[in-house]
Structure 1
Amino acid sequence: MMETILSRSIRVICLSGLAVGMSTAYAQEMQTQGGQNQSGAAQQQAAAATEAQQPMQRIEVTGSRIRSPNADSPSPLQVLSAADIAASGAANLQQVLLDNPTMGSPAISRTNSAFQTASVGVATVDLRNLGTSRTLVLVNGRRFVSGIPGESAVDLNSIPTDFIERVELLTGGASAAYGSDAVAGVVNIITKRSFNGIMLDAQMGESSKNDDQKRKFSATFGTSNDDGFLMGHLGYSRQGQVWSRDRERSSVDQQTRAASTGNSADLFTVQRPFYSSFAPQGTFFPDSGSFTYDRSGNVIPANTNGTNGGVATGFNRNEFRSIAVPVERYLFATNGELKINEKTRAFMEGTYASSHVSTSIEPFALGAEDIFPSTGGSVPAGSMVNGSLVMNPLVPQYLRDRISDNDGDGIPDYYFTRRLSEVGSRGSTAERDTFRFVTGVKGEFDAWKTWNYEVYGGYGQTKEAQQSTGQVNVLNFANALQAIPGENGGAPVCASADARIQGCVPINIFGFNTISPEALKYVTAPGSLLTRTTQKLVGGQINGEVWDLPAGPLGVAAGFEWRKEFSSAVPDALTQAGLNAGNATPPTSGEFSVKEIFLESRVPLLKDMPFVKSLDFLGAFRHGDYSSVGSTNSWNAGVEWSVIDDVKIRGTRSLSTRAPNINELYQAPSQDFPSGLNDPCLGVTATSNGQYDALCRANPGVAANIAANGEFTLNQADIQGVSGFNRGNPDLKAEKGRSTTFGVVWTPRGIDVLKRFTFTADYFNIKIADAILSTGRQYALQSCYNGSNPAMCSFITRRPTATGNNSAGSLDLVDTAVSNTGGFTTEGIDLTAAWNDRVGPGRLSTKLAYTYVKQGWIKETPDAEQDPFAGEIGAPKNKALFDIGYKWNDLSVSATMTYIGRSALDDQFLAALTPALPANSVKFGSRTYTDLQASYQIMKGTELYFGLNNAFDTKPPAIISGMPGSDTGVETAAGTYDPIGRRWYAGVRVAL
């Protein structure tokens, strides 16, 4: 049956409970509308009529387990309906939620995960920019298995959008109601129920650049009667790839010059092109100087940033990089209820999602130190055979004539860099499967009052099998580089007899396409990663009314929950050992369990008095016992005060807890290659007197660099060659978040022209103590060299001398570790307004949601200064969403405008420049994105729709490589701004 898809309902509804000023009618509507073939206006009329004719049914609303006829909550609650999701044309729920101004930039999405070593293409959400792990995602009020190994974040790709009835966003701490992770709030996804018939939806679309091709098909079906219901959903979707080379702003490598000079005057001086020095034909470094080859095999001087005589000597990595990765999904979902007797029903929910994601990035950039790390990249040009030096016949005479023995082993040596174009693009394919099943019994019983109960058990599992290409076996490569002439002057063979037995084939790295297929087969090393995440849970609750007080019934709820989480991530053996020339990634495995009990009450205090239509107190308490961190306690207290029918005041104070996840506890040192770091020693001279200069000069490598160059200087390889390790911490404790919300709701039903107008204003303040944070790498650099926190120097390793093509004193490793030393704070105001009424021959609806973040900051350690993030890229101080729609008979049109306010570069990055720039001094302008949709019901049960996303092709700000916030290959902050451009989609929905 055609549900509310022909008219656009309120996109953001924010009042006590579910609807602004119409909580009772809206609550009743949700109880009765399932599967009805009605327009939006008809549903509202039916709900109002039902309200007048029947006693109120009680429903449970996110944030409270006490059922209420008014669906009230003292905490701000926003609702997105099925119609909102349908009107967006989105393939997954993340795309719709990110428009909401309470949402921060996602940790992982299609447009910022091409360089992820795992969980590519996962769709996560982040309330209030407090981190994905502090946003709890529920399905029908119960936890959902994580989509990322070792984390708590749910992959929204695994939940079909067409199966969703509504999404309730509770902002503010909610651990007392739902347990750990609800520090920033809760996203509760409510699925459809009691559906009769079949609904088919087919959609296609693409961008104005003829990429980002989208295909989607779904079938939702069900049957229901007085004895229960059964529903099912089958879905398929595919979102195509978007290449960096197909957008002018990202078609070639580029970089801000400040990344190499450290001079703030160079911040907006763009080096374009800024090609990688790792070229496919190789660059070779004899005792002095360097050289490369043209395509004819002729030696030419190296020029790492462009061309020489028309010959490319650098490499454009963006030719191979992605703006958006392709994601293909197969989805199945079901739920149902069966009446056992008049007071008991059994229920079940099932979900299965299979995702296929692939990535492709540039061929591997190999440096000699990757193959010979113990010698700093010194490659022997020959071998000792029976005590005599035998030169490698593949080493050209030009190089032989210019090298000598530099390490004392009697063998001349050299250094090289080379792009392994013969190996091909690096990439991965990941098959991700998510399964979840929940079943239980619910009903009611009489014990001086009618009580509701529910007991359930569930199991969820996410498995990922990832295969990667483009890496090499370091040990085999080393053997292949050491060749000697064959017998009787025959073809070269590997010098090691043992290696020859194992199939070693000599490798020729000198020039274009010189590596033979046989040598490639010997040195290539396909990688793999197997991950598994499981969740087991058992829970139960009762809720009801204890007795009647003068102002109304006293409601209570109590319950328990047991949960066990397990996660493992096991890469192949070469990757674990770091012997594939890439990230060294050891296996991570761990588990924890938790037992919790909770109690909640709603106490009516006053009613029907002057200026007190009603006054209720709501309180909740939860105690948890974790196998990992021990006991935790959470609580919240709230007040609802209806001053008059049209004005309500609400407020809450809560203490929420978050236990560390498996990665935070158990992750072994895992190698990473961070970008956007600014070395504070850049530009330091022997006599300069900046805040970092003295401690920089104290490093022997930095001092040697200054002596050689007159000032501390970095080359391209230094900038692009910084690595580091991420570490977990098994001694972590739970963090605590204290949140305060205070708001007012105005619903002027007595004013005729405003009877369908609603307005809310809510203040929020969330402070997290003992925050679980990974030490920021830029913070470690600055606090080490300005002397404010010498302990941070232990995270930093510099090269003591010039190594290969790296400079003395350049950063080798900048590590990070997890601890309970941090602090988080965010404070601001949410405003919402909505109005809809009949205008002319049709109905006009308008909705506005606006969030202003007054402050938001993070502290790396208790003694550190506050590091503001509010107003920086990814966390604008001002964000808004405006919706307007008009429905006239069978035609519906709508527009959605998303506003992202001006945003500044990270203040720590600016402070590390020379001369330092003050916070908020470098800003990027605001952006407004407009989405349009029109739909027309061509016959009963059949609707055609067409939409444009980013209809005016608004371009993202140019946040290029070398600036914090830039996503590799995209040249902007792809999780915050739209990096793809205008996109269209068209489809048809058919109800049978």
Structure 2
Amino acid sequence: MPDLMLPRALPAQLLPLAIAAALAPLTATAQEASTLDRIEVTGSRIRAADAETRQPILTLTRDDIAKQGFTSVADILQNLSSAGSPAISRADALASGEAVGGYYIDIRNLGAARTLVLLNGRRLGATTSGLQDLGQVPISVIQRIEVLKDGASAIYGSDAIAAVVNVITDSQFDGAEFSARVGQFSQGDGRAQEFSLKIGTQGERSGILLAAEYSKEEPVWAKDRWFSRDGNAGPDYPGSGWSPISKQGAHCDPCSSETVLPKDERWWTLRDGGDPNNPGDYRPFTADDNVNSNEQMMLQTGIERRSLFASAYHDVNDNLRLQGEALYNQRITDQQIAGYPLQYDVPVDSPFNPLGEDTKIRRRLWEVPRTTRSELQTYRLSGGLVGNFELGGRAFDWDVGALVNRNRLTKTGHGDGSRFALDRSLKPECGTAADPNCKPWNPFLPYGVGGPGSLSDPELQKFLFPTFVDTGETTTTTYSANLAGSLFDMPAGEFGFAVGYEHRREQGRFVPDAFSQSGQSTGLESVTTEGAYSLDEVYTELSIPILKDLPFARELTLNAAGRFSKYSNFGNTLNSKFGLTWRPMDELLVRGTIATGFRAPTIADLYGGTASSFESYVDPCGIGATNTVNGNAACTGAGVPLGYEQLGQGGKPCTGYPCQTPDQFFRDSNPDLKPERSTSTTAGVVWSPRWVEGLDVSLDWYKYTIKDQIILDSVDRILRDCYVLGNAARCEGIARGPDGHITNLRYGTTNLGLVQTQGYDLGIRYRLPELAIGQFKVDWQTSYTSQYDEEGSNSKGEKFMDGRVGEPGYFRVRSNIGLDWEKGSWGANYTLRYYSGMRENCVRNRPCTDPDRYANGEPEAIRKVGSNTFHDLQVRWTAPWDATIAVGAKNLFNHQGPIMFSQPGSAFPYYGGFDIGRSIYMKYQQRF
């Protein structure tokens, strides 16, 4: 049977989310496309002619991926002009929890949990917080990626608010292909390697594909980049913001019993060569003793992946196909941050205490940096029957299928101390016959100084620093059935329909180590997250042709869809979508959609355990904030004195902002959350002028409104609402000490406020006539964000929309221009990636470009930085032995982005979505 006959007769649906286009490469020739006159694309289950242009869909083919040197699906998607900031970038060294190390995509800056990700039309497994890791998809088997930049909850259910990303793999590969890629940054670090092997065979009625992939990327260290080597204030402020909890160690003399030390207390550290038992050998601790913790921190985490993928099908007869796929993926992520900044009480009876009284010590445990290894294993199995039949002279397509996706996580941490062991190590009986297994520790010895009780002793390190193990598991199970076809003929064409049913169950848990749960670790406290929910859904979709082949109406079609969902945890929801396609002439198409959507609360949202963190923030009641409100009624009413300076680690006044608290704050889940609601609207045109062959232009306007957002509240938002805007209800979870310092803040997940965003997407693709010097193709994609507003309220209780366009990640303009050249066996691809300028709030001792700016009636000094453009280049050669050799560079001119003191998407003063250097690579691909 010819390859094209079966896809025409059978949709490639296994489950409600599958698409028939998975069985037919998008790179098919024009002749093949005319044979497949009815196709199905992401965003609809009804097959129709020219379906790929009826909605704002961006398609990336295998060639697009290869020519730009991408190493992962996330890299591909993060390069889109409509992509927002990474949910957890590899530069976010302080990130913790089960999602660290994953690759997540955020379209339109509406959040990664609001972009639904599919693999061959079926949901990827998600973390308990609803994030879908694109790193589990092996890039070697990708045929194309379709991105529907529109809401589609009526078609796919929860999470399809901002967009739908459908990663489509090879289905009918015949032969073998081996690929190898190696690269590194021009600074000599970040070495990356990737190897893949793909084998497939096709028979008359059956086919099978097997693929294996291995990749590894070495970490990059903060000390090796210009913006992070001098600390988090950048190279212009060396030493600023360094931690007063240093590797030198220090003790107070005299000490008080207050949690936060008064300013007049003195801190002392051992002089060089001094005797730790002699009080006279200690000198005052000064700012010169502060430590740059970035010296021990990874700027970019190390990642290693192993993947196995298999798919197969068998045509039982001309009207029935059995098919399925299996995926195994192992992802290992390594993190390292500086040794723990310990603040501890040393009892008077400690054999190493030379003062004759209880004292407080603070010491960066520099000898044992904190490391975390996260290993995630994914097991995925799906299969089903796909068929067609005729009834009353009409063809109908049907499918039934099932999917199980299981993620198992193990996190192994080292470098946080056992509080039980620390207490024992400071007691007089430690190491004696009364406690022979104890290892005594002398906290007065600085880093690098030997002697009894020195932390450089490996045996003491083993005693104080156990290995912590967190575990987690999430499982997605779905069963589905679908039917599609046409009901009757209308003057303008067939009245098409699709109906279906889906049952899905989500369950997950994340279990922190017992030390973390009991609070006996110096690390963050957290407790178990565990829960499950199930849902049943039915949907229907209609395609109603109204006009056809008339003047100024070559086509006029209305599409309508509705989906009813019944959840076990919160109840029912009904969502709809309407679309209109008008083709006034053959070369011009006008399209528009309006849809409602929803996002159900996740397991972590509803059943997450309490967790703690040391947050970085700016206290508006402190005089260090550029937009300080020190002295206003809200601050003085909370006991904040005039002239108060925000305190950071060690109870010392902050010298850099945002400033990390020395106290743990706590965040909670919320079992009473309700779903988010959204409305999305798009309108656009697609123009392919006859008089310019090879030119395609698309322009789309979009608008999203999201109500009742499910968000994890932020410390800065709470403090602003409480003290700047005067919202007393937002002050309830804030606790301050006698000196005004925030000693505790409790916050959590809530349905809060409104988000509105709108803008334009412009796409221009032009294949120039072939010239003597070769074939040129231009691909220009631009996203313009005209609005991104979040609801707020001022001190008078008045609601307003707070604009965020221009903040890091919320770029006014992102634009990619790609130029591809090919002549004979040679080719090259050149890409420019443009990001418009950014702004951030100012803090003391940092430059402000607009210190007198006011927003919403309040002072809001800001700092602006200019636009940034990165250049990529690849040169390739197709060898006579059916191989392709390519060399390339990402960020060809080693462009450096600006210092960003707010550390957006990063643990360092740099935007986490920007290149951190020039990456050079070489790729070899052999086909057999």
Give yes or no for TM over 0.5: yes
Q: Larger % of helix: which?
A: 1
1:91 paired residue number: 71
After TM superposition, give the deviation of residue 72 of structure 1 in Å: 3.7
1:986 paired residue number: 922
Q: Does 1:796 align with 2:796?
A: no
2:554 paired residue number: 613
After TM superposition, give the deviation of residue 859 of structure 1 in Å: 2.6
After TM superposition, give the deviation of residue 494 of structure 1 in Å: 7.1
Q: State how far apart, in whole Å, the 2-side matches of 1:547 and 1:353 are.
A: 46
Q: State how far apart, in whole Å, the 2-side matches of 1:943 and 1:704 are.
A: 67
Q: Does 1:977 align with 2:897?
A: no
Q: Structure 1 residues 418 and 212 mapped into 2: Cα distance closer, same or farther (>3 Å)?
A: same
2:372 paired residue number: 428
After TM superposition, give the deviation of residue 713 of structure 1 in Å: 8.9
Question: Contact 1:101–1:849 at 8 Å: present in 2 too?
Answer: yes
After TM superposition, give the deviation of residue 532 of structure 1 in Å: 0.5
Question: Contact 1:201–1:990 at 8 Å: present in 2 too?
Answer: yes
After TM superposition, give the deviation of residue 971 of structure 1 in Å: 2.1
After TM superposition, give the deviation of residue 326 of structure 1 in Å: 0.9
- Aligned AA (1:828): G
Q: Does 1:679 align with 2:619?
A: yes
Q: Structure 1 residues 119 and 670 mapped into 2: Cα distance closer, same or farther (>3 Å)?
A: same
- Aligned AA (1:811): I
Unpaired runs of 5+ in structure 2? 1-18, 255-264, 276-280
Alignment of 1:910-929 (within 5 A): 921-929=862-870
User: What SS does structure 1 have at the residue aligned with 2:287?
Assistant: coil
1:127 paired residue number: 107
**Which is further off, 293-302 or 785-794?**
293-302
Q: Deviations over 1:8-35 (max 9, x none)?
A: xxxxxxxxxxxxxxxxxxx99986559x
- Aligned AA (2:140): D
Q: State how far apart, in whole Å, the 1-side matches of 2:572 and 2:580 are.
A: 28
Q: State how far apart, in whole Å, the 1-side matches of 2:724 and 2:183 are.
A: 53
- Aligned AA (2:612): Q
Q: Structure 1 residues 291 and 153 mapped into 2: Cα distance closer, same or farther (>3 Å)?
A: same
2:403 paired residue number: 458
Q: Structure 1 residues 246 and 200 mapped into 2: Cα distance closer, same or farther (>3 Å)?
A: same
2:416 paired residue number: 471
Instruction: Choose from 156, 180, 183 the match for 2:161.
Output: 183
Q: State how far apart, in whole Å, the 2-side matches of 1:700 and 1:200 are.
A: 68
1:379 paired residue number: 346
- Aligned AA (1:555): G
- Aligned AA (2:425): A
1:965 paired residue number: 904
Q: Structure 1 residues 568 and 625 mapped into 2: Cα distance closer, same or farther (>3 Å)?
A: same
Q: Structure 1 residues 393 and 181 mapped into 2: Cα distance closer, same or farther (>3 Å)?
A: same
Instruction: Choose from 871, 886, 892 the match for 1:945.
Output: 886
Instruction: Choose from 181, 187, 191 the match for 1:213.
Output: 191
2:257 paired residue number: none
1:507 paired residue number: 441
Instruction: Choose from 854, 871, 891 the match for 2:786.
Output: 854
Instruction: Choose from 777, 797, 814 the match for 2:715.
Output: 777
Q: State how far apart, in whole Å, the 2-side matches of 1:245 and 1:294 are.
A: 27
TM-score (norm 2): 0.89
After TM superposition, give the deviation of residue 271 of structure 1 in Å: 5.1
Instruction: Choose from 365, 386, 389 the match for 2:341.
Output: 365
Q: Does 1:532 align with 2:478?
A: no
Instruction: Choose from 204, 209, 218 the match for 1:240.
Output: 218
Q: Does 1:272 align with 2:239?
A: yes
Instruction: Choose from 773, 797, 812 the match for 1:877.
Output: 812
Q: Does 1:577 align with 2:518?
A: yes
Q: State how far apart, in whole Å, the 2-side matches of 1:795 and 1:414 are.
A: 31
Question: Contact 2:851–2:861 at 8 Å: present in 1 too?
Answer: no
Alignment of 1:222-301 (within 5 A): 222-255=200-233, 270=237, 272-287=239-254, 288-297=265-274, 299-301=281-283
Question: Contact 2:83–2:107 at 8 Å: present in 1 too?
Answer: yes
Instruction: Choose from 795, 803, 822 the match for 1:868.
Output: 803
2:131 paired residue number: 153
After TM superposition, give the deviation of residue 707 of structure 1 in Å: 15
Q: State how far apart, in whole Å, the 1-side matches of 2:469 and 2:209 are.
A: 38
Question: Contact 1:101–1:879 at 8 Å: present in 2 too?
Answer: yes
Q: Does 1:663 align with 2:604?
A: yes
- Aligned AA (1:112): D
After TM superposition, give the deviation of residue 964 of structure 1 in Å: 5.1
Q: State how far apart, in whole Å, the 1-side matches of 2:769 and 2:20 are.
A: 22
User: What SS does structure 2 have at the residue aligned with 1:272?
Assistant: coil
Q: Structure 1 residues 914 and 986 mapped into 2: Cα distance closer, same or farther (>3 Å)?
A: closer
RMSD: 2.8
Q: Structure 1 residues 756 and 333 mapped into 2: Cα distance closer, same or farther (>3 Å)?
A: same
1:319 paired residue number: 295
Q: State how far apart, in whole Å, the 1-side matches of 2:894 and 2:495 are.
A: 55
Q: Structure 1 residues 80 and 707 mapped into 2: Cα distance closer, same or farther (>3 Å)?
A: closer
1:24 paired residue number: none
Q: Structure 1 residues 60 and 555 mapped into 2: Cα distance closer, same or farther (>3 Å)?
A: same
- Aligned AA (2:673): L
Unpaired runs of 5+ in structure 1? 1-26, 35-42, 257-267, 307-312, 369-377, 383-391, 401-411, 485-491, 801-807
After TM superposition, give the deviation of residue 296 of structure 1 in Å: 1.6
Q: Structure 1 residues 973 and 145 mapped into 2: Cα distance closer, same or farther (>3 Å)?
A: same
Q: State how far apart, in whole Å, the 2-side matches of 1:936 and 1:739 are.
A: 45
Q: Structure 1 residues 866 and 694 mapped into 2: Cα distance closer, same or farther (>3 Å)?
A: same
Q: State how far apart, in whole Å, the 2-side matches of 1:532 and 1:201 are.
A: 32
Alignment of 1:402-413 (within 5 A): 412-413=357-358
Q: Does 1:415 align with 2:360?
A: yes
Q: Does 1:192 align with 2:170?
A: yes
Q: Structure 1 residues 115 and 989 mapped into 2: Cα distance closer, same or farther (>3 Å)?
A: same
Q: Deviations over 1:588-613 (max 9, x none)?
A: 11111110000001100011222111
2:57 paired residue number: 77
Q: Deviations over 1:425-460 (max 9, x none)?
A: 110112210111100000101122101111110100
Q: Structure 1 residues 236 and 58 mapped into 2: Cα distance closer, same or farther (>3 Å)?
A: same
After TM superposition, give the deviation of residue 71 of structure 1 in Å: 2.3
Q: Structure 1 residues 692 and 60 mapped into 2: Cα distance closer, same or farther (>3 Å)?
A: farther
- Aligned AA (1:886): W
Q: State how far apart, in whole Å, the 1-side matches of 2:763 and 2:131 are.
A: 28
Q: State how far apart, in whole Å, the 2-side matches of 1:480 and 1:934 are.
A: 61
Q: Structure 1 residues 967 and 273 mapped into 2: Cα distance closer, same or farther (>3 Å)?
A: same
Q: State how far apart, in whole Å, the 2-side matches of 1:643 and 1:692 are.
A: 65
Q: Structure 1 residues 336 and 296 mapped into 2: Cα distance closer, same or farther (>3 Å)?
A: same
Question: Contact 1:85–1:93 at 8 Å: present in 2 too?
Answer: no
- Aligned AA (1:853): T
Q: State how far apart, in whole Å, the 2-side matches of 1:483 and 1:602 are.
A: 82
Q: State how far apart, in whole Å, the 2-side matches of 1:897 and 1:539 are.
A: 43
Percentage of matched positions with identical amino acids: 28
Q: State how far apart, in whole Å, the 2-side matches of 1:443 and 1:175 are.
A: 26
Q: Deviations over 1:500-526 (max 9, x none)?
A: 27x333321112342344443332232
Q: State how far apart, in whole Å, the 2-side matches of 1:249 and 1:735 are.
A: 39
User: What SS does structure 1 have at the residue aligned with 2:189?
Assistant: coil
1:37 paired residue number: none
Q: State how far apart, in whole Å, the 2-side matches of 1:746 and 1:916 are.
A: 43
User: What SS does structure 1 have at the residue aligned with 2:425?
Assistant: helix
2:7 paired residue number: none
Question: Contact 1:356–1:431 at 8 Å: present in 2 too?
Answer: yes
Alignment of 1:677-716 (within 5 A): 677-683=617-623, 690=629, 693-700=632-639, 702=641, 714-715=653-654
Question: Contact 1:959–1:966 at 8 Å: present in 2 too?
Answer: no
- Aligned AA (1:180): S
User: What SS does structure 2 have at the residue aligned with 1:783?
Assistant: helix
After TM superposition, give the deviation of residue 419 of structure 1 in Å: 1.3
The count of residues paired between Structure 1 and Structure 2 equals: 870
Q: Does 1:895 align with 2:830?
A: yes
Q: State how far apart, in whole Å, the 2-side matches of 1:270 and 1:103 are.
A: 32
- Aligned AA (2:758): E
- Aligned AA (1:248): W
2:15 paired residue number: none
